[in-house]
């Protein structure tokens, strides 16, 4: 069970769950609520290499389409193909439904991500 306090966050509303040399990425509850019912997800290919801030995929709801961004430099090692078949799971439990797992290539960038407390303040400003 993933909980907010163990995660880091981007200002594009991705959560990051760092597990040693790798990390999972997903969409925060705040963002999934703002988007509404998610109806489509586009994921990248495994082995794709990204820099922090690159768009790696798309989430589409009945209201809007939004890009998903890489929180850190990295190489995709696994994608959650279940989301492509049933994107509604993201609305039900945004923290459990990761989009992709990647190998972190530049750990120093971790300092630039937001802590849970920072992210909470950030969302309050956005609301």
Partner 1 sequence: MKEYTKLLCDITKPGRTGYRLPPDELKDMEVEKGIPAGMLRQDEPALPEVSEVDVIRHFVNLSQKNFAIDKGFYPLGSCTMKYNPKINEDMAALAGFANLHPYQPEETVQGALQLMYELDEMLAEITGMERVTLQPAAGAHGEMTGLMIMKAYHESRDDHKRTKIIVPDSAHGTNPSSAQVVGFDVVEIKSDKSGNVDIESLKAALSDEVAGLMLTNPSTLGLYEENIQEVARLVHEAGGLLYYDGANANAILGISRPGDMGFDVVHLNLHKTMTTPHGGGGPGSGPVGVKKHLVPFLPAPMIEKKGDTYYLDEDRPQSIGRIRAFYGNFGINVRAYTYMKTMGAEGLKKVSQMAVLNANYLMHHLKNYYRLPIDRVCKHEFVLAGLGKKELEVNTMDVAKRLLDYGFHPPTVYFPLIVPEALMIEPTETESLETLDAFIEAMAAISKEADENPELLKSAPHVTPVRRLDEVKAARQPVLKCAMPEGPQ
Applying CB under 8 A, which residues contact partner 1? 34, 37, 39-40, 60, 62-64, 66, 87-88, 127
Contact 59, 36 (CB under 8 A): no
Give the residue with the Cβ less far from partner 1, 30 or 99.
Answer: 30
CA angle 5–15–1, rounded 5-degree value: 55
Q: Which among 26, 6, 42 is positioned nearest to 93, based on CA atoms?
A: 26
Q: Which residue number, 18 or 39, has a Cβ lying nearer to partner 1?
A: 39
Least gap, CB of 26 to partner 1 (angstroms): 20
Cβ closest to partner 1, residue 1 vs residue 127:
127
- Measured CA to CA in angstroms, residue 21 lies from 44, 103, 104 at distances of 20, 6, 6
Expressed in percent and rounded to 5, the helix, strand and coil fractions of the chain are 30, 35, 35
Give me the least distance between CB of 5 and partner 1, in Å please.
Answer: 25
The distance of closest approach from Cβ of residue 62 to partner 1 in the complex, given in angstroms and rounded to an integer, is: 5
39 phi/psi in degrees, rounded to 5:
-120, -10
Q: Specify the residue, 66 or 95, whose C-beta has the smaller distance to partner 1.
A: 66
CB of 41 to partner 1, least distance (A): 11
């Amino acid at each position: 069970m993933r909980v907010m306090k163990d995660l880091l966050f981007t200002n594009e509303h991705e959560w990051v769950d760092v597990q040693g040399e790798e990390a999972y990425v997903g969409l925060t509850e705040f963002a999934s609520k703002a988007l509404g019912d998610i109806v489509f997800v586009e994921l990248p290919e495994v082995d794709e290499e990204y820099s922090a801030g690159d768009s790696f995929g798309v989430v589409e709801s009945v209201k809007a389409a939004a890009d998903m961004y890489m929180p850190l430099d990295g190489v995709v090692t696994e994608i959650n193909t279940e989301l492509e078949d049933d994107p509604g799971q993201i609305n039900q439990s945004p923290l459990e439904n990761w989009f992709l797992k990647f190998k972190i290539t530049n750990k120093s960038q971790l300092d630039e991500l937001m802590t849970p407390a920072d992210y909470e303040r950030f969302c309050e400003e956005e609301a």
